[in-house]
Amino acid sequence: MLTLTPDAQSVIRSLVNGDPASPAGIRIAATPPVDSQGAQLDLEITPVPQDGDQVIDDDGARVFLDETAATLLDHETLDVQVDQEAQELNFYLA
């Protein structure tokens, strides 16, 4: 199962307004491969999971994974790098 670093937890909670009663989270879904490198992963903020999504709730930070993403990210750890200057977030596997 995908795990989250404390930084990733904090950023995800802030992206979805940190309301612990809200079912919102980030959704990671695989897109069809565009070349021989395999599937790419898309990330979006969403109010609820889609049918069939694996739901991870890690200390109030919710991540929804489609079936393919759940398989690809099994046993991985999601972290985030925050670039204050560029006002940019970069999620990556740690």
CATH of the domain at 76: 2.60.300.12
Instruction: Report how far Cα 58 is from the mean position of its chain's Cα atoms.
Output: 11
Structure token pair of residue 51: 């049918």
> pLDDT by residue (tens digit) across 34-75?
666 667 899 999 999 999 999 999 888 999 999 999 999 999
Q: What is the pTM of this model?
A: 0.86
Residue 19 reports pLDDT greater than 80: no
**What does the alpha-carbon distance between residue 2 and residue 70 come to, in Å, rounded to a whole number?**
8
pLDDT at 86 (0 to 100): 67
Range of the domain at 17: 3-93
Q: Give how many domains the chain has, as a whole number.
A: 1
Query: Model confidence at 18, in pLDDT bands (50, 70, 90)?
Result: low
What integer pLDDT is reported at residue 51 of this predicted model?
95
